[in-house]
Chains A and B, each alone.
Chain A
Amino acid sequence: MNTRFLALKLLRMLVTIWFVVTFVFVVLRATTDPVEALLPPDATPDEIAQWSEIWGLDQPIIVQYGRYIASLTVGDLGFSYRDGRPVTVVVGQRIPATLILGGTALALALFVGVPFGIIAALRRNRLSDRLIMAFSVFGFAIPNFFFGILLILLFSLYLRWLPSSGYGGLDHLVMPAATLGLATAGALARFTRSSMLEALSKPFMETAAAKGAGAFRRVMRHAVPNAAIPVVTILGLNIGALISGSIVTETVFAWPGVGRLLISSVEARDLAVVQFLVLLIALTMVVANLLVDILYSVLDPRIRVAGAAKAG
């Protein structure tokens, strides 16, 4: 990883963040009167004038924009109008639950999707391959809110094995994590399979066989590492899918995370909270993409070399 490559990535990251920040500001100012949104409807004109001055709403728009950027950089993001607490506190409380759910779902997707994909590639066109691919298509195509509801019907209402909603022990985590991880597992299985098939057809596999390496060693030492790179790409792309998925999944299972907070804030038009959540998610996405880029060059020396050659 050379510095110029990294610097370029960081710059793009900052541009994206700046754009999202500006987008939020513009949409917010273009569509709502902040005074109307923040003050009770029976506020008197005097009160409106007074608060406009306090919030700087009587200033030109460019000054307001500058103040807005300045307040973001010092972490002053406003207050939830529903309970008056700072948005950082409101959102911060919800983050652990989301990380637990997202982490479990991602681990589940990796532990199911990648081995399934490898097995499917090794047993290409056999029954097991077909079944795994059918699972993959199913996982990818079923709406997660529908899958979640089917799980609730089967395991909570019919079998009565698992609680249908809420937060607490491991039994609360099973169904939301399965719902959230399913689509990613399906995508991973599919891409691992095609990536493995490509690696298996490469000349180095014949070389490995000629050297006398056993079947297990050939797969694990030669095919899998070479198949890993496209899989990492897909994983990077799926971070976004996981975030979107968690918004729906958390709402279906009444999971007290960030996604459900976003939905209830949009419903109540609690704009300060929505704004902070959007910025937070954008930041997460951008950092995740950067990590994927770094992971790439760790996994694939060719990218490092190419990057260094280009840079000079």
Chain B
Amino acid sequence: MAQTLPTNERRRRLGMLSANRVVLVFAWAILGCVLFLGVFGYWLTPYAPTEQNLLDRLAPPALFGFDSAYLLGSDRLGRDILARLVFATRISLAIALAGTVIGAIIGTMLGFIAAYFRGLIEEAIMTLVDIQASLPFIIIALTLLAFVGNSLTLFIIIMGIYGWERYARLARGAVLSAQSQPYARAVRALGASPWRLYTRHLLPNIAGVLIVQFTLNYPEIVLLETALSFLGLGIQPPLTSLGQMMGDGRDLLINAWWLSVIPGTLIFATTLSISIIGDWLRDRLDPTIARGE
């Protein structure tokens, strides 16, 4: 195809390539800033996240030109937004990471189990996969929260249930297609156990696809967690998350827009940058998806 393209088309494509480059670098930079804030953020502020100053409630952010002792303002209890933001970023990112890892492990294992046992077990697992895929996940999450009652453990488990079905599909498909491959038969013939075949030979082969799935799931779990916390059904005080901070500031939009807008911007920046990086990773790692269009 490349040889037949007219020069202006080729030039345009090159232009697009560099535009994508710029966006990608930008995404990495934003992600770097978010991570920096999460890790080293406490250095930027003299206050602790729980430190209240009731004489200085709802102080506007000094960063936007207001006369204030707080770089990003203070909340309704006079707590420093920046310090709370660091705390919330850590929790939101860590919970999403835990959820993504749990989902990836459970899903991959169940996919392997389905492909290994076939028959009824496979049917049962794949039916579960279909059902989870056919229902909006937030409904499943809300049902569990209503019936079990909210707790941090349950909340992390819910984040872990999210998206397992996609890993299960990928892992099962990979095993089924690899079983006819010469290398898999060779490993079997050498006397390796199925477990060894799956973990040592198959897993590295599908690692690229799984990593791509990981980067797609991560921002979705960040969004799920922040949405539930925003609605007051996720992370509960004294802990906080970016969504919980936003929900907390929702009633005070008129007086103190920064309470909601600053954590919201951070959520958006995180999910957007990881999505862009995930797209780029998919183009690099996943040969089954055609490049370009």
Among the 9-residue stretches B59-67, B204-212, B253-261, the one with 4 or more Cβ atoms under 8 Å from chain A is B253-261
B147 touches A31 (CB 8 A): yes
Chain A residue nearest in CB terms to B223: A143
**A263 lies within 8 A of chain B by Cβ:** yes
A247 touches B293 (CB 8 A): no
* Residue interface mask A123-145, B partner, CB < 8 A = 1: 00100001000000110111111
A225–B27 CA distance with the chains assembled, in angstroms? 36
**B78 lies within 8 A of chain A by Cβ:** no
For residue B237, give the distance in angstroms from its CB to the closest CB of chain A.
15
Partner among B149, B253, B272 whose Cβ is within 8 Å of the Cβ of A152: B253
B136 touches A141 (CB 8 A): no
**A197 lies within 8 A of chain B by Cβ:** yes
**A286 lies within 8 A of chain B by Cβ:** yes
B231 touches A263 (CB 8 A): yes
Please provide the chain B residues from 202 to 255 with a CB less than 8 Å away from any CB of chain A in the complex.
219, 223, 226-227, 230-233, 243, 246, 250, 253-254
A28–B148 CA distance with the chains assembled, in angstroms? 8
B148 touches A143 (CB 8 A): no
A20–B130 CA distance with the chains assembled, in angstroms? 12
B127 touches A15 (CB 8 A): yes
**A244 lies within 8 A of chain B by Cβ:** yes
A23–B139 CA distance with the chains assembled, in angstroms? 12
Contacts of A59 in B (CB 8 A): none
**A55 lies within 8 A of chain B by Cβ:** no
**B264 lies within 8 A of chain A by Cβ:** yes
**B152 lies within 8 A of chain A by Cβ:** no
A108–B9 CA distance with the chains assembled, in angstroms? 34
B261 touches A153 (CB 8 A): yes
B293 touches A198 (CB 8 A): yes
B271 touches A141 (CB 8 A): yes
Check A125/B12 contact, CB under 8 A, given A142-B268, A244-B136: yes
A281 touches B139 (CB 8 A): yes
A27–B145 CA distance with the chains assembled, in angstroms? 11
A251 touches B231 (CB 8 A): yes
Contacts of B250 in A (CB 8 A): 149, 252
**A189 lies within 8 A of chain B by Cβ:** no
B143 touches A278 (CB 8 A): yes
Partner among A16, A32, A143, A164 whose Cβ is within 8 Å of the Cβ of B134: A16
Give the one of B147, B148, B271 with max A CB within 10 A.
B147
**B142 lies within 8 A of chain A by Cβ:** yes
A143 touches B268 (CB 8 A): yes
For residue B25, give the distance in angstroms from its CB to the closest CB of chain A.
16
Chain B residue nearest in CB terms to A286: B134
Chain B, interface size category, equals: 35 or more
Check A153/B142 contact, CB under 8 A, given A282-B135, A285-B135: no
**B55 lies within 8 A of chain A by Cβ:** no
**A243 lies within 8 A of chain B by Cβ:** yes
Contacts of A251 in B (CB 8 A): 231
For residue B146, give the distance in angstroms from its CB to the closest CB of chain A.
4
**B16 lies within 8 A of chain A by Cβ:** yes
Contacts of B142 in A (CB 8 A): 247, 262-263, 266, 274, 278
Chain A residue nearest in CB terms to B279: A137
For residue A226, give the distance in angstroms from its CB to the closest CB of chain B.
15
For residue A190, give the distance in angstroms from its CB to the closest CB of chain B.
11
A281 touches B136 (CB 8 A): yes
For residue B1, give the distance in angstroms from its CB to the closest CB of chain A.
10
A144–B260 CA distance with the chains assembled, in angstroms? 13
For residue A90, give the distance in angstroms from its CB to the closest CB of chain B.
15
**B267 lies within 8 A of chain A by Cβ:** yes
**B137 lies within 8 A of chain A by Cβ:** yes
**A106 lies within 8 A of chain B by Cβ:** no
* Residue interface mask B263-283, A partner, CB < 8 A = 1: 011011001100110000000
Pairs A-B, 9 closest by C-beta atoms: A146-B264, A240-B136, A266-B146, A244-B136, A141-B272, A274-B146, A244-B138, A31-B148, A31-B147
Which residues of A come within 8 Å of B, CB atoms? 12, 15-16, 19-20, 23-24, 27-28, 31-32, 125, 130, 137-138, 140-146, 149-150, 152-153, 157, 164, 194, 197-198, 240-241, 243-244, 247-248, 251-252, 262-263, 265-267, 269, 271, 274, 278, 281-282, 285-286, 289
Name 9 extra pairs, CB < 8 A, besides A141-B219, A240-B135.
A16-B131, A27-B148, A141-B271, A142-B272, A146-B246, A152-B253, A240-B136, A244-B138, A251-B231
Show 16 residue pairs from A and B whose CB-CB distance is below 8 angstroms, ordered by the A residue: A16-B131, A27-B144, A137-B272, A143-B227, A145-B227, A145-B246, A149-B253, A241-B136, A243-B139, A263-B142, A267-B233, A271-B146, A271-B147, A274-B143, A281-B136, A282-B135
